[in-house]
A and B are shown apart, each in its own frame.
Chain A
Amino acid sequence: MEFLRALETSGFSVWVRESGSLWSFPGILLVHTYGMGILVGLILAIDLSILGFVPALPLAPLRKFFPLIWTAFWLNAITGTMLLVADATTKLTNPDFGVKMVFIVLAVINQRMIQRRLFRGDGSPLPAGAKALAMMSIVCWLGAITAGRLLAYVGGVTK
């Protein structure tokens, strides 16, 4: 708790929370939201394609979006950490934050499995379990979004 308080009272955290600058809290959260739209949007497209909702769209070329997906992911990891440090004592002790992290860890593992198993590039048909991976992906990302949004409402709420 001492450590969390130290984080929260650091110059950076105070700037994020209290400077009132559009570059601080609003700007960081804005980047986090753009990152979410790109990350989850592109992954949902892959999932829906695996599930057969977009028959005209071939799955293989979507691998070109992997770099964009992971760029958005790391952008959100960084901006997420910034937002977390600024409210360390409330956010890090909020069980809902743990729920969000579990969803994200599962979603990331799941996404790596999708990339390894379903994008072999040899034109082989999708293996058994492909649809289960896609559904798991949808559940985990929507779970992460829900848990993330609810951080503002459950547990220790700062604002």
Chain B
Amino acid sequence: MLEVLENTAHVHLLLNHVPTIGFGIALLLFLAGLGAKSDVLKRTSLVMFFVVSVVAIATYVSGSAAEAVLVGTGRTDFPPGVSPAVIRAHEDAALLAFASMEVTGFFAWLALWQWRRVKTLPGWNLPIVLVLALVTFGLMARAAERGGRINHPELRADGLKQGDVIRSFNGQPVADADSLRALTAAAQPGSAASVGVIREGQPRTVTIAIVDPEGVMKRATRTSEAASLGVRMIEPLTQELAAQFGLKPGAEGLLVAQVYEQGAQGPAETGTTRAIGLWVTSVTWVWPTAETLHFVGLCMLFMVVVIVDLRMLGMIRSVPYSAVYQLLPIGMLGFGLNLITGMLFFIGVPAQYVKNIVFYWKMVFVVLGGLNLLYFMLMDQAWSVGPGEDAPFSAKVAAASAIFIWAAVLFCGHMLPFIGNSF
């Protein structure tokens, strides 16, 4: 199983490139299509937006697996230079970019859906896609930049240690707690900062990630500057403290008096993503409500899968494909409901899923389901099936595959606790 996990870290690094590069290309094509007023370019880019947003689901969850490898659950030793604070900063940025990308993908899909029905791309939808795509691209660049810090040693944060005496912040001398507070307040959360410290008698510079002091951690931190630096307590150095920490008498500066224990609390539990996770798992009715909605979404999705695909396989033959096609947005809403509730479960207890092989199968089938849907969206063989007509062979194959794929998605989801180790 460990091998699977080690691989998922690499899988994440590989899958990363689909949303980042794929989305960039899609955006360029979309802009070119708008400029040249080319429907072919616009449609191609809409398809790409949709595909990228589907693959992004797998990319996002593989990120948590990569995190499990790097940070580990119950693991106390971090690989040299990997800092939980930097990973959390990337995770939060990635969640925002992911959410934005899914909304973009949904509207791109809706535009494609409309195009089939009315033979022209809807005018109201494209500006929405454009704005969403630009926002997503910015958020994604931000997430990618923060992700890059995790594996690029020159950008890597190594954090403060208990007993460090802070002398400077980003090159500015730190005289007392007030000056440090002013300097950290001016720094952007998530950005990297260099902190000059005296560690074990030697001056050195460490790189840290600035944490949002308004985040979850503040409750467990005495001061905002300590929260910003991702430690529990910073105190003016007194003679007494100097003696206690074995520092030279007469040393001056601010002492990092207490850091978080690695593991359950501290920096690893900060950030928006963890706050959402805490909400899901600690507020009584959130989990059961999300489960119930997950079932409702499942019924909406199955409605469309059963009706559209059985039509293709020969039931209700009097109904043309264009009529059952009108059901697709209901299925998409059901899928959206399940994506949101499913992500709540995942963010709530990621450890249950990232070590669960059935979960990865589920993600594979979800991506296949998205690709399968494209047949029913784009192919004339499907669209041209009129009232009373038998569907062509390719449509039957696609329909049978769709039934198999979505049955497999449900199977994998259901078997999470029984074959894997969830719950």
Contacts and interface: CB of A to CB of B under 8 A. Distances in A.
A33 B319 CA distance: 28
Contacts of A68: 306
Contacts of B330: 48, 53-54
Contacts of A7: none
Interface in A14-57: 22, 25-26, 29-30, 33-34, 36-38, 40-42, 44-45, 48, 53-57
Interface stretch (A77-85, A107-115, A124-132, A142-150): A142-150
A58 B323 contact: yes
Contact of B302 (A37, A61, A152, A153): A37
Contacts of A150: 288, 292
B326 A41 contact: no
B41 interface: no
Interface stretch (B7-15, B141-149, B411-419): B411-419
Contact of B299 (A25, A37, A54, A149): A37
Given A57-B327, A58-B319, A64-B315, A41 B291 contact: no
A30 B414 contact: yes
Interface string B328-358: 0010000000000000000000000000000
A10 B319 CA distance: 50
Contacts of A29: 414
A37 B410 contact: yes
A4 B166 CA distance: 69
Nearest to B322: A56
Interface string B287-313: 010011001101111111111000000
Contacts of A48: 330
A62 interface: yes
B298 A37 contact: yes
Contacts of A54: 323, 326-327, 330
A141 B292 CA distance: 12
A38 B288 contact: no
B411 A45 contact: no
B303 A41 contact: yes
A40 B299 CA distance: 6
Contacts of A44: 299-300, 303
B4 interface: no
A45 B318 CA distance: 17
Given A57-B323, A64-B315, A149-B288, A34 B410 contact: yes
Contacts of A42: 303, 306-307
11 contacts: A22-B415, A22-B418, A30-B411, A37-B301, A37-B410, A40-B303, A55-B326, A57-B323, A141-B299, A145-B295, A149-B291
Q: Which 9 A-B pairs have the closest CB atoms?
A: A41-B303, A37-B302, A41-B302, A26-B418, A40-B299, A56-B323, A56-B326, A61-B316, A149-B292
Given A33-B298, A145-B299, A146-B292, 6 more contacts: A22-B418, A54-B327, A56-B325, A64-B315, A65-B316, A142-B296
Interface of A: 22, 25-26, 29-30, 33-34, 36-38, 40-42, 44-45, 48, 53-58, 61-62, 64-65, 68, 141-142, 145-146, 149-150, 152-153
